[in-house]
Structure 1
Amino acid sequence: MDGLDGRVSADMMGSGDAWRRGDTLQHHSRIFSQFLAHDDTDDSSLDGRFFVPSYLRGSTYMRKLAEAHRTKQNESKRSAGSDLTADISTIPDPVPSGSHRGLSHQIIERQSSSQDEDVLTSLPSKWNKHDMWSNIEIQPDGRTVKYTGPRTHNERDHEASAVRAENHMPAQCGIYYYEVEIVSSKKDDTTIAVGFSTKNATLSRSIGWEPESWAYHGDDGRCFTAHNSGRHFGPPFNQGDVIGCGVNFRENTAFFTRNGVKIGSAFDDLRGKLYPAISLKKPGETIRANFGQHPFVYNINDMVKEQREKIQRDIEATSTSHLDPDLNESELLQTLVLQFLQHDGYVETARAFADEITVEKEALSLDPNAKVAGTSIKDDEDANNRQRIRAAILEGDIDRALKYTSTYYPDVLDHDGYVYFRLRCRKFVEMIRKAAQLRLSMDKPRNNGHLGASLSQLMDVDENMELDEEHLSSEIEELERNMLKYGQTLQAEYANDPRKEVSQALADIFPLAAYVNPLKEPMFSHLLDRSGRVAVAEELNSAILLSLGKSSRAALEKVYAQTTVLLEDLRQEGGVGAFVSVQDIVDDISKHNQF
C-alpha cells in the first residue's frame, strides 16, 4: 500500500505518559498510539532493581509491570522535589527576556492515582526474611540461603527450615520459572527441597510434606505434595547441581529441571497463590536462587516460544468466513481499514486506498477484459469538516480547530465540556512549546541561519517557524506574556472544578511554566511532544461523531478493543492470553517493514 498517505501513521502515533493515556480519557475516546508502542521492558530508565527474565521479555505482563515500575519511579522523583503543582498566578508577568520564571509554587501534595488501587504483582526477586523458619540465614544478596542451626541428637528427622520468596508467581505470566544452585551440601545426603507453596503451608517441615506445598527432594529424588511419602521422580541432586522449578499455569502443571535438562512434569493439582520455596535441614547446606536476574541453565525461552507458536498456529487456522460470508479474509480486512479511514475523516487517504484495492483486483483478475467494480468513496462533507479540524489540531493550531468546530458543530463543545477543557489545555501547552522551541533556537548554533539536523530533531520544529534572531527575543517575550495570561484565566475558570481528571491535567501542565525551557526537563518535556496532539484530536472527533448520532468508534477499533479485552480475560489465570497479544502482531509487522 505504498500509495497511501504516510501521514496517517504519523497522525496516529502517541506516547504512554499520563497526560495522553487512555485511562485519563472518557469512555468514547481512543488512542491508537498503543498500536505502535515499542517493547520497553528493558528501558534504561528502569532502575537496577527491575529485571526482566529472558523468557518473559516482550510479554504483555512485563510491559505492564515495566510501565507501573516506571510510573512509580517518576512519582518518587517528583515527591522528592520535582512534583509541584504550579500556581500560575504567582509567576511574574511580564517575564523579562532571558530570565528564569522562578519556582514560585503553591505546593500541593498530589493525590494518589486511581491506578494504585490495581497494583500488578511484582515478580519474585529474593527470599523473604519475614517469611522463613529459624536456623537459616539469608545472605546480603537476598538470594542465597544457608542453614546455620546445630544438628543435635534431639533433632527429629521430619523437622526442617523453609523460606518463601517475597512475591508469588503471577499466573498472568503463563509460565513461571526459577532455578536453585546447590552451593554446599553433604555428598549423597542432600536434604534440600526445591519447589513452591502457598502462604498456608508451615515452614517448620520440608517443602512438599505439608498441605499446599510441592517440591523435588535432593536426598532421594522423589517429589512430594502434602505428604512425607512421595513418589519416584528423578535423580537425587548434590552440591554443584542446578535445579529448576517451573509452573505452567495454562496447563496447571509443574515441572523440574536438573543441570539444564527437563526431568518432566511432577504435579497437576496446583491451587492458590504459589510462592517459590526451598527447605534445608543440615548444617552447612547452602543454596543460591536465580529468579531471572541472570541467564538460566535450562533453555526456558524455547519452551515459552513453543507455547506461543502453538497458540499462534491455532489463531491462524481460525476461519473468518462466518463474520461476513460475502467477503473473504483479504476483502474483510480491506473493508475494515477503508471504513476506519472514512470514519475518522482521512478522506484523501481513503480514496487512495480504494483506488489501490481496485488496481489490485484488476491485477488478480483472470479475464483481462472483465470490468472490475471499483470501491466508491462518498464525498462526505462531514468527513471533510472533521478532517479540517483534525489537521488544525495536529498542526498545533488549537484556535483554528475551535473556530472550525464552532462553525460546523456549534453544540459539541457546549455538550462535552471535558473535550473543550482538553482543547484549552492543549492550547496552553502549544504556547509553551513554541516559546521553548524559540528559546532553544537562541541557545544552539545554527548553520546559515537555520537549525542543524540534530537540533531540528531535538526540537521537533514546526515547518516554516520563523527563526529570525532579530525578532526572536521580542516574540518570545510576547508569547510568554500571552501564555501566562492564558494560564491564569484557565486556572481561575477551573479552580473549583470537582472532577479529578481536570485537577490532574492542570497539575501536569502548569509546572511547565516554571522553567526557562521545559524541553530540557526530562520530567516534563514529554508533555510538549507533538504526539500529544493526537489524543485531543481523537477525543474531539469522537465527540463530534456522537453528536451526529454515529458510532464514536470505527469497526476496526471495536475489533481491536474486543480482542484486547478478551485476551486480558484469558490472561488472568494463565490462559492463552498470557502467550499472545495484539502487540505481538504489530511487532511482527514492524520487523517485516524494516526489510
Structure 2
Amino acid sequence: TKQNKNQNIFIQQFSFYNRNLRVFIVFSSCDSMNSNFIDKFRHSAKREAMEEDEESPTELNTINSSGGFVIVSPDKLSVKYTGAGQHSHDVGAVQANKPAPFKRYAYYFEIYVKSAGAKGQISIGFTTNNFRIGRHPGWELNTCGYHGEDGLIYLGKRQGEAFGPTYTTGDIVGGGINYDSQEFFFTVNGALVGTVSNYIKGPLFPTVAVHSQNEEVTVNFGQEKFAFDFKGYEASERNKKQIAIEKLSIPPNINHRLVKNFLLHYGYEETLHAFDLATNSSVPPICVAQEDAIDVKDTSYALHERKILRQLIGKGEIDAALAKLRDCYPQLVKNDKSEVCFLLHCQKFIELVRIGALEEAVNYGRAELAKFVGLTVFKDIVEDCFALLVYERPDESNVGHFLEESQREVVADAVNAAILSTNKYDKDQLHSHLDTLLRQLMACRMELRSLNDGQGETFLLKRLLKNNSCKRIKKTA
C-alpha cells in the first residue's frame, strides 16, 4: 500500500512538471552497470543534506554602502541616515554582506523601523552586485524595492506601482524571494502584503535604504525570531503546489502496472503475490516484447532465484549468495574481477568488519579485494573498505556508511540486474519502469531549476517522501 501511494506521488509529480516544461529527456536504456551500481555502492548511504550548504547574510556591508550619508552601528545590524536628503542621489542605501542564498525554496529577512525620521523615506528590497549605492532599491534596473513613504513597489524604474500600506516608526517590514514561484514577497507587521514577479537574474543582496534626517532601521537576518511566520508561509506555498499536483487524475491501472513491474523487476516475490491478492488480480499482465515482437506473458524471469539471493544478501550471508550464483548462474561469476564479484567480495569484507572479525577481514581482503586495487574504477572503494579496519568504532567514521543496511540493498540490486541480463528475451532490464519515471521526474526538475538560473532547492527524493508521509500522518491524526 505504501509503495502504491508513493507511486502515485511520483506519477503526479512527473505529469505536472513534464506537462509544464513540455520536454522529454530520453535516457539510454543501455546504461553501464558499472557506472550505475558502483556509484550507488560508493555513495548510497552517505547522508543527504536537506539543503545545500550556502552562506547567508549575517550583517550589513559597511564597505559597499552610502558611507557619506549613513552611520552603521558597531554590530552592523542598524543604519541611521545622516545626510541632508536634498536630491535622489544622496540615498543612504546599504546591502547585506552576502547575497541571499538561492539553493532553497525561499529566503526572507526583516527590518524594524526604529525611527521614520523627517519624511519616512525608507525602503526594503533586493539589489544586484553592481547596484549603484546612493539610490533606493527599485529605482535602478535589476533591483526591487518596497517603499514606506508611499507604499509603492518599484521594479527597476522611478515610477512605482500601487502595492501595499505605508509603514513608519514601530513597524516591522519584511522582504523575501520565493524561488519556486519566482516571486518577491513583502510583509508588514507579520502579515503578507503581496507578491511581484522576480525579473532579475543572478545573486540578489538584501538591501535597505533611508533618505531623510534621523531615519533609523534595524535589520534581522534571522538572528532573532521573525514577526512573519516564514516557515508557515513556506509550508503553505508547498501545500498549494502539492494540491495542484494532486488534482491530476492518474488511472489506477497505470499505478498497478508500475507497482507490479517494480516488484517483478526487483524480485519481491512474496510482496508481488500479496499485491495480486490485494488487487484481486484485476490488473492485466505486463507484457515484455521479444525480439521477434511476440508478447511474453511470463515476466517473472528467475523470480524465485532472485528473491532467494536478495534475502541472502539482505541478511549478510554473502558466501551463500556466491554459492547460489555459482550453481545457477556461473557465467556471472566466471570473471572474478567483474562488478558483481567485486561488490559481493566488498560486502563480505564489510560483514566481517560488522561482526568484529577483523583478523578474518584482513585475510579476506588480502585474498579477494587486493586484486581490485589496480583497477581504477574500484580503487577508491577498496581503500575505503580497508579504512574500516583503522577505526575503533568504524560505524561512526567517515566511511561508516558502508556498514549501513542500504549497502546490502545496492549489492542485491546489482546481482538482480545481472541475473535479468541473462534473459535472452529481454536483456535490457537495468531499470524498472518506476526507476525510469523517477529519472524523468528528476530531469524535469533539474531542467526547471536551470531555466530559473539555478535558483531553487535541489530535488531530493527523501524530502518528497518525508513531506508526503508527514501530511498523511496529519490527515489520519
Same-fold status (TM-score > 0.5):
yes
- Tell me, what secondary structure is at the counterpart of 1:534? helix
What is aligned with 2:36?
27
- The 8 Å contact of residues 84 and 213 in structure 2, kept in 1 or not, is answered as no
- The 8 Å contact of residues 172 and 571 in structure 1, kept in 2 or not, is answered as no
What TM-score, normalized by structure 2, do the two folds share? 0.74
Unaligned runs of 5+ in 2: 5-32, 288-296
State the 1:389 CA deviation.
1.9
Q: Within 5 A, what are the aligned runs for 1:174-573?
A: 174-182=105-113, 184-231=114-161, 233-249=163-179, 251-265=181-195, 269-281=199-211, 285-320=215-250, 329-358=251-280, 380=300, 382-413=302-333, 414=335, 417-435=338-356, 479-489=357-367, 492-499=370-377, 502-519=378-395, 521=396, 523-548=398-423, 549-573=427-451
What is aligned with 2:468?
588
| Whole-Å separation in 2 of the counterparts to 1:140 and 1:385 | 71
| Whole-Å separation in 2 of the counterparts to 1:498 and 1:534 | 24
| Whole-Å separation in 1 of the counterparts to 2:173 and 2:310 | 58
State the 1:158 CA deviation.
2.0
State the 1:266 CA deviation.
5.2
| Whole-Å separation in 2 of the counterparts to 1:525 and 1:419 | 22
- The 8 Å contact of residues 181 and 288 in structure 1, kept in 2 or not, is answered as yes
Q: What amino acid maps onto 1:406 in structure 2? A: R
| Whole-Å separation in 1 of the counterparts to 2:368 and 2:157 | 68
- Tell me, what secondary structure is at the counterpart of 1:205? coil
What is aligned with 2:83?
151
| Whole-Å separation in 2 of the counterparts to 1:430 and 1:308 | 42
| Whole-Å separation in 1 of the counterparts to 2:61 and 2:336 | 54
What is aligned with 1:439?
none
State the 1:591 CA deviation.
5.9
| Whole-Å separation in 1 of the counterparts to 2:433 and 2:38 | 14
Question: Relative to structure 1, is the Cα distance of residues 391 and 491 closer, same or farther in structure 2, using a 3 angstrom cutoff?
Answer: closer
| Whole-Å separation in 2 of the counterparts to 1:140 and 1:25 | 57
Match 2:93 to one of 159, 162, 171: 162
| Whole-Å separation in 1 of the counterparts to 2:459 and 2:370 | 48
Once the two structures are superposed, what CA deviation does each residue of 1:90-116 show, in whole Å capped at 9, x if it has no partner? xxxxxxxxxxxxxxxxxxxxxxxxxxx
Question: Relative to structure 1, is the Cα distance of residues 540 and 163 closer, same or farther in structure 2, using a 3 angstrom cutoff?
Answer: farther
- The 8 Å contact of residues 221 and 236 in structure 1, kept in 2 or not, is answered as yes
Greater Cα offset, 573-582 or 530-539: 573-582
Q: What amino acid maps onto 1:349 in structure 2? A: T
State the 1:433 CA deviation.
0.7
- The 8 Å contact of residues 104 and 456 in structure 2, kept in 1 or not, is answered as no
What is aligned with 2:293?
none
State the 1:358 CA deviation.
1.7
| Whole-Å separation in 2 of the counterparts to 1:263 and 1:316 | 28
- The 8 Å contact of residues 570 and 578 in structure 1, kept in 2 or not, is answered as no
- The 8 Å contact of residues 90 and 211 in structure 2, kept in 1 or not, is answered as yes
- Tell me, what secondary structure is at the counterpart of 1:514? coil
Q: What amino acid maps onto 2:419 in structure 1? A: I
| Whole-Å separation in 1 of the counterparts to 2:379 and 2:277 | 47
| Whole-Å separation in 2 of the counterparts to 1:319 and 1:532 | 36
- The 8 Å contact of residues 151 and 283 in structure 1, kept in 2 or not, is answered as yes
Once the two structures are superposed, what CA deviation does each residue of 1:415-465 show, in whole Å capped at 9, x if it has no partner? 983343222222211111111xxxxxxxxxxxxxxxxxxxxxxxxxxxxxx
| Whole-Å separation in 2 of the counterparts to 1:407 and 1:269 | 64
Question: Relative to structure 1, is the Cα distance of residues 36 and 186 closer, same or farther in structure 2, using a 3 angstrom cutoff?
Answer: same
| Whole-Å separation in 2 of the counterparts to 1:580 and 1:525 | 25
Once the two structures are superposed, what CA deviation does each residue of 1:447-487 show, in whole Å capped at 9, x if it has no partner? xxxxxxxxxxxxxxxxxxxxxxxxxxxxxxxx332212223
| Whole-Å separation in 2 of the counterparts to 1:503 and 1:28 | 15
| Whole-Å separation in 2 of the counterparts to 1:421 and 1:335 | 34
| Whole-Å separation in 1 of the counterparts to 2:197 and 2:307 | 59
State the 1:316 CA deviation.
2.5
State the 1:513 CA deviation.
0.8
Q: What amino acid maps onto 1:180 in structure 2? A: I
| Whole-Å separation in 2 of the counterparts to 1:518 and 1:581 | 27
What is aligned with 1:474?
none
Q: Report the RMSD for the aligned CA atoms in angstroms.
A: 4.2
State the 1:268 CA deviation.
6.0
Question: Relative to structure 1, is the Cα distance of residues 513 and 260 closer, same or farther in structure 2, using a 3 angstrom cutoff?
Answer: same
| Whole-Å separation in 1 of the counterparts to 2:101 and 2:255 | 35
- Tell me, what secondary structure is at the counterpart of 1:273? coil
Question: Relative to structure 1, is the Cα distance of residues 151 and 589 closer, same or farther in structure 2, using a 3 angstrom cutoff?
Answer: closer
What is aligned with 1:99?
none
Question: Relative to structure 1, is the Cα distance of residues 236 and 178 closer, same or farther in structure 2, using a 3 angstrom cutoff?
Answer: same
Once the two structures are superposed, what CA deviation does each residue of 1:322-347 show, in whole Å capped at 9, x if it has no partner? xxxxxxx2233222222211211122
Report the count of equivalent residues: 429
- Tell me, what secondary structure is at the counterpart of 1:296? coil
What is aligned with 2:18?
none
Unaligned runs of 5+ in 1: 5-23, 42-62, 70-120, 321-328, 362-371, 436-478
| Whole-Å separation in 2 of the counterparts to 1:197 and 1:272 | 10
Percent of residue pairs identical: 26
- The 8 Å contact of residues 151 and 164 in structure 2, kept in 1 or not, is answered as yes
- The 8 Å contact of residues 58 and 97 in structure 2, kept in 1 or not, is answered as yes
What is aligned with 1:103?
none
| Whole-Å separation in 2 of the counterparts to 1:426 and 1:567 | 34
- The 8 Å contact of residues 118 and 215 in structure 2, kept in 1 or not, is answered as no
State the 1:35 CA deviation.
12
Q: What amino acid maps onto 1:412 in structure 2? A: L
- The 8 Å contact of residues 186 and 194 in structure 2, kept in 1 or not, is answered as yes
| Whole-Å separation in 1 of the counterparts to 2:467 and 2:97 | 33
Question: Relative to structure 1, is the Cα distance of residues 512 and 539 closer, same or farther in structure 2, using a 3 angstrom cutoff?
Answer: same
- The 8 Å contact of residues 125 and 175 in structure 2, kept in 1 or not, is answered as yes
